[in-house]
Chains A and B, each alone.
Chain A
């Protein structure tokens, strides 16, 4: 039977992806749903609805990237697993590379448009 090969970072490509936001939040320690929601709102300015949040939690748990921790409270906390840390690290590295390329090209374009106006900015090339 052919097996689907799924990269651990599939679905984590965008920085506003709920999965990335949740993993980033859990990287600083275990949290339950409400704490996750508030933390994500504070560092990313994104308000995840309950359906979106728990949908992403379920997918991350299925993929073994996060896991529930023992709790007597109905507020179930979750923590990031070693696989989750690796996936987040890979995703963030990809984002960093993308940001670098984007920043570099944006700089080159500014320089090009500058030179067309007769101003030469050394150090940039198109």
Chain B
């Protein structure tokens, strides 16, 4: 690889518009500084960081160079990214509590944890409805984009997302069919091959969530959204963030009560198809809560961006 190509390769983290404007100058700077020598790792990492920040700035996740409406859209997309993490974490939680029934609890505790569990379930379902609602609100803009020849720009990401979705549907169907032929013990750690298959399926779902979320972000970024649509979407994003807060709080409260009142459920790996557990801190729940925390942080960041952008736009939420 020639030196010029080598330095251009290092700039691949930057968005295309940036490379077309500053790429030559930056490559020349790297060439003048390091010549044929090795570029230090900290400089490479700095380029990764700067390039990623420029990409985030291009979408409107950070910075104030784009209009308030663009920042509202970017904030909403950040909330959607956070929701992506919640989707996967929610699937882990659902799998973990597959066979949970609070059977060993007294009446008072039973009512409370059941209530918390239902809150998590129904708030999750409401969150899914909001995301579908947002998709419907954005649909006319998507149709306009496709009619104006925008399909070539979004084709690759949409097709990739559809493939990922199809793979998840097929693997889920196969796993569920297999699970029906297994005993409760085999489904919950007794059969190693099934446990491995569940782990692979989880990985597939997580990759699919990332691909679908990226496709949504990339597509929505290209839409010409009317002001009213953007406001609707950003309002939905704020509501979705509050739902995410409720879900995480509900799950953590459920977990803490279970660990005190019904630790056997958490310890004995009953209901845990992914990993054996030996304490009140099963790995599945730890991963789920960490993912939810990261998702909530992204969503809160997005919501703050939405609220600030709406204030700059003269709308007070």
Report if A33-B65 is in contact (Cβ < 8 Å); known contacts: A1-B313, A52-B46. Answer: no
Q: Which of B24, B42, B314 contacts A2 (CB 8 A)?
A: B314
Tell yes or no: A57 within 8 A of B by CB: yes
B residues within 8 A CB of A51?
46-47, 49-51
Q: Is the CB of B68 within 8 A of A33?
A: no
Query: B112 CB to closest chain A CB, in angstroms?
Result: 47
Q: Which of A6, A50, A62 contacts B26 (CB 8 A)?
A: A50
Q: Is the CB of B32 within 8 A of A34?
A: yes
Q: Is the CB of B51 within 8 A of A74?
A: no
Within 8 A of B (CB), among A1-22: 1-2, 4, 6
Q: Is the CB of A55 within 8 A of B50?
A: yes
Tell yes or no: A124 within 8 A of B by CB: no
Q: Is the CB of B28 within 8 A of A32?
A: yes
Considering the complex, give the chain A residue whose CB is closest to the CB of B314. Answer: A2
B residues within 8 A CB of A50?
26, 29-30, 33, 43, 46-47, 50
Q: Is the CB of B312 within 8 A of A34?
A: no
Q: Is the CB of A34 within 8 A of B28?
A: yes
B residues within 8 A CB of A58?
18, 21-22, 54
Considering the complex, give the chain A residue whose CB is closest to the CB of B27. Answer: A74
Q: Which of A49, A50, A58, A74 has the most CB of B within 10 A?
A: A50
**1/0 contact string of B155-171 vs chain A (CB within 8 Å):** 00000000000000000
Tell yes or no: B290 within 8 A of A by CB: no
Expressed in whole angstroms, the Cα–Cα distance for A71 and B50 within the complex equals: 26
B residues within 8 A CB of A1?
68, 313-314
Tell yes or no: B25 within 8 A of A by CB: yes
Q: Is the CB of A74 within 8 A of B22?
A: no
Tell yes or no: A37 within 8 A of B by CB: yes
Q: Which of B22, B53, B64, B314 has the most CB of A within 10 A?
A: B22
Q: Is the CB of A33 within 8 A of B25?
A: yes
B residues within 8 A CB of A76?
22, 24-25, 28
Tell yes or no: A108 within 8 A of B by CB: no
Q: Is the CB of B50 within 8 A of A52?
A: yes
Query: B230 CB to closest chain A CB, in angstroms?
Result: 13
A residues within 8 A CB of B18?
58
14 further A-B pairs in the complex, CB-CB below 8 A; given A2-B68, A55-B50: A1-B313, A2-B312, A2-B314, A33-B26, A50-B46, A51-B50, A54-B29, A58-B21, A58-B22, A58-B54, A74-B25, A75-B28, A75-B29, A76-B22
**Which residues of A are in contact with B by a Cβ distance under 8 Å?**
1-2, 4, 6, 32-34, 37, 49-55, 57-58, 62, 73-76
**Which residues of B are in contact with A by a Cβ distance under 8 Å?**
18, 21-22, 24-30, 32-33, 42-43, 46-47, 49-51, 53-54, 64-65, 68, 311-314
19 examples of A-B residue contacts, CB within 8 angstroms: A1-B68, A1-B314, A6-B64, A33-B26, A37-B33, A49-B42, A50-B50, A52-B46, A54-B25, A54-B26, A55-B53, A58-B18, A58-B54, A73-B28, A74-B28, A75-B28, A75-B29, A76-B22, A76-B24
